[in-house]
Structure 1
């Protein structure tokens, strides 16, 4: 069965009515026949039919044992970290999403969980960072925002040899392009706000467990902590999933054209996109994501300043300046002052998040229009630079 067919056939027809669309069970509780005797549901925090349908679909897509839907991507990450105990250690990718970094550093470090960061594109660095306290290796592949790609299978072997779990944030690739559990991961997380929902109209998170053992623990944490996804948002994610393969195909094809265009511009020092042969992790990406390389691009300007980046991100017409990604409309952001502003400057720069780095989320618009939009913004940057140079030359001439 091909992936698109597998996805669509995993969305159930309602057994009660035959509805082709999953019904929204907008209820807080369920009537019981007797104490403890019910139709499979007793309280909506513990379980809801709409959410259960989504969770089963997610598990199918990621080839896992079970899935769990949360109120946000960070709630999903939080649930995974709650699998650990004081004294445990996480080895994480160095250009970690700023929200995850904030959660790790300012919440869980206070609870006695240690976090070590390394460049996970080099499995040897991961191996060197592991200790007898390491219980979890945390990857983003591709990473946010520098699009680093780590060898999931190799790192899974390293983690398991040390008795640790491997968790992969698969938000950027989506299950259409990459299935980390098939590569050896124990846990997969998503900000379902992004490609899974796909329409910039919800906040949601997801966790998929590879085994029953991990799944039971996550289910307990989900129920005990209560950060569940509501039925209407669960319905919206299911609605978004129905078009995920088609959307991802368009995102990938357009992003490659945009990335290739950006390589031709003198204002751009570097373009990070795994689909480019020049990308340092292109071979690994091609192996892990045979269906495409996603819709996210990062670029670093030749003028590596926040001022230059601000001029570009406020000068586009079709790329809207906003946090988030993965929607139908193209977005762009400046991570240094937006998504990664909570990461210390020195650590951010060392991980490759330059002051002028701009992250593009390529939407479903026509490639030609998006390219023209970026071209005019970069043209204005060059014109402003030339105007400044001319003013400096005139000032110097007057002084002479």
Structure 2
């Protein structure tokens, strides 16, 4: 005959009590009740919209350090702008106009990310934003306004923010008060951390007009007005990241063909007259150089003629003098990029030119052939 455990009865009671409390917390055996979702606020919606727009458009990390919604008048708007702002006028539904202003740090972060693929922490020169800065920020502004419309759906006081797009930028923010209609404005002021690991702290101010008859600060007990249902925004196609590589390759570059450089005395220089011949070494025809405006040597070449025009046949430094298989650079019919692609580039483009002296240095005069000597003779 076994002896009963004196603790068995007590442990069973304790177990039943714990199960009863657990069933009560779960709603008498049902699913656990999830906490109610917090209602959207202007600050949360604005922070989500601006971060999502930067990530969707450029994969640029943007974190909202603070977002302050507010209400202001047209007279107060110039006082809220950051220093040296990029001011953009926004076109809204009908004839409504709004404005958005970006501080120089925010503009620099957007431009650097598109041009360099990263945000730097270097100092900025003090200048006004240009039209080029505005065009580089236009896509971000439009994407932010689109996401802000979706995030602000159902947020009291910010119902009339849909339909705004980039219109133009202002070189001077002073005419802004003349362009916008004198009516109450809703505002969102952002303090942002843009970029990673290096980042810039930027400020963005958005000001949009309220429709006629709308109150800036509705009473808590006021009954919300019924409005027509707003069609859900059509998702925009995935944007293609714009690169500045192609436009930079189209930038013009001035190069100069130099036969040789010859040192002359001041007396010989003053004696140069129109039609006078100057003796040149024979090696200049085979040792010509192609140089930039700063005197950096790009390639060596042989001077000659092609299709009735003076031409330079670029040389490979490793090829023999008798090798004529190198491409020819003439005044027409051949691009400079194709010709330089076949020639060996110098190892150091910053190699100093012995014929070029620092300002104020004494010594013989550097006289590249082909220059206009009228000013020197006078």
TM-score range, shorter chain: under 0.3
Q: Return the structure number with greater helix share.
A: 1
Alignment TM-score, normalising by the size of structure 1 = 0.22
Alignment TM-score, normalising by the size of structure 2 = 0.22
